[in-house]
Structure 1
Amino acid sequence: MTAEIFFEIRGLRQSGHPPNDETVEVLRTRASRRALRRWRDRLQEPRGARQRVVNAILPSFRAWLQRKTRVTYRLTQHTLEECPAWQTERQILVQNIGPDLSPETVVAAMARSGEAWDSVVAFCDRVMLAKEDAERHPRHRES
């Protein structure tokens, strides 16, 4: 329970109107909506480099929140559009979600479809595992 809800319930009790379960649920729903509005407002503030990701999520904000899937560290670290080292992995992703790999389009596809979400996660996992493996086992270094 958040402090906001706690104080609302306490106020109701102190005024002689102890809330029932339904009232508590209404208070939680309202608090959740207010929190999401505040979060969205904060996301709309300019923040430099990460603004591109924020701008990709905002149009699909509600659908993104409704996905019941975890966002992993690897999912946040992917290289979708540019790096030629991941061309094979990228081709698999394009087959599953389409040729436009701009952040806005990818986020919208992920928010819309569990299959798209899984495809992006699989891409990110493959790429990040390969990067982590390369860091642990450098092939050879020039002096």
Structure 2
Amino acid sequence: MSSLKRRRYQRRVAARSRGEPPDPEEEERAARAAEEHLRQQWRDALEDGLYGTRTIGAILPVMEDWLRRRRGVLTYRLTQVVTGHGCFGHYLHRIGREPSTQCLDCGVEDDTAQHTLEECSRWAVERAALVAATGLVDLSLHSVIGAMLSSERRWDAVASFCEDVMSQKEAAEREREAAADALPLRRRRQGRRRRAFLRHDP
């Protein structure tokens, strides 16, 4: 049982023991206070975070808007671009799936999620469509997150970019894995990420 539910239950038990019905206004005040306490714990944990600093730096300034939004689904491929955990040379090298961090699309030394979003020449057409749909000039993650929160149309445009680009990057990774001369570290595996690929691209 969560601490919020536990406290709510304890208040109801105490009210019943006094022969009183639960006070809806008190319940609402207590729920708001508990929610704010939880949000503050999240903020504190994020501010002290040692990992995921790019993602934290983009979301923390707009955390309240992010949590209260009524639209926008974090899809599998949108999450890859936001977190940097996906088919990026930087990440694949870190987990031992690629011999270097190099971008295999344009040759740049470090293929990060931000490189894919903002710079890689391979995705110029998809990026132009994203810029046209969102009106963004600055494609830093902070700016992109702000645009996503500003309207459903912009959220969908960013999600569409991520879907288009990441599905192609994943397909290229699968081809490298399946190649007869594939490096041992690239060989096709049947672990969690492989099962995730198959769920999204059978």
Residues 87/23 of structure 1: CA separation in 2 closer, same or farther (3 Å cut): same
Gaps spanning 5+ residues in structure 1: where?
Answer: none
For the 8 Å contact 2:15–2:22, the answer to whether it is kept is yes
Match of 2:84 in 1: none
**Displacement of 1:110:** 1.2
TM-score, with structure 2 as normaliser: 0.60
Find out whether 1:21 has 2:59 as its counterpart.
no
Query: Segments of 4+ in structure 1 off by > 4 A?
Result: none
Residues 22/82 of structure 1: CA separation in 2 closer, same or farther (3 Å cut): same
For 2:45 and 2:162, the matched residues in 1 are separated by 27
Query: Which among 20, 31, 35 is matched to residue 34 of structure 2?
Result: 31
Match of 1:121 in 2: 159
Residues 14/37 of structure 1: CA separation in 2 closer, same or farther (3 Å cut): farther
**Displacement of 1:6:** 2.5
Match of 1:103 in 2: 141
Give the partner amino acid of 2:26: T
For 2:7 and 2:118, the matched residues in 1 are separated by 43
For the 8 Å contact 1:5–1:31, the answer to whether it is kept is no
For the 8 Å contact 2:59–2:142, the answer to whether it is kept is yes
Find out whether 1:90 has 2:90 as its counterpart.
no
For 1:6 and 1:72, the matched residues in 2 are separated by 35
Deviation per CA, 1:67-88, whole angstroms, max 9, x where unpaired? Answer: 2222122111123123332221
Which structure has more relative contact order (CA 8 Å, sep 6+)? It is: 1
Gaps spanning 5+ residues in structure 2: where?
Answer: 82-112, 182-202
Give the partner amino acid of 1:125: E
Residues 18/41 of structure 1: CA separation in 2 closer, same or farther (3 Å cut): farther
Which moves more between the two structures, 17-26 or 60-69? 17-26
For 2:172 and 2:43, the matched residues in 1 are separated by 37
Give the partner amino acid of 2:122: A
For the 8 Å contact 1:81–1:102, the answer to whether it is kept is yes
For the 8 Å contact 1:74–1:128, the answer to whether it is kept is yes
Percent same amino acid at aligned positions?
A: 38
For 1:135 and 1:74, the matched residues in 2 are separated by 15
Residues 92/54 of structure 1: CA separation in 2 closer, same or farther (3 Å cut): same
Residues 131/11 of structure 1: CA separation in 2 closer, same or farther (3 Å cut): farther
**Displacement of 1:92:** 1.0
Instruction: Report the aligned-residue RMSD.
Output: 2.5
Match of 2:194 in 1: none
For the 8 Å contact 2:11–2:22, the answer to whether it is kept is no
Give the partner amino acid of 1:62: E
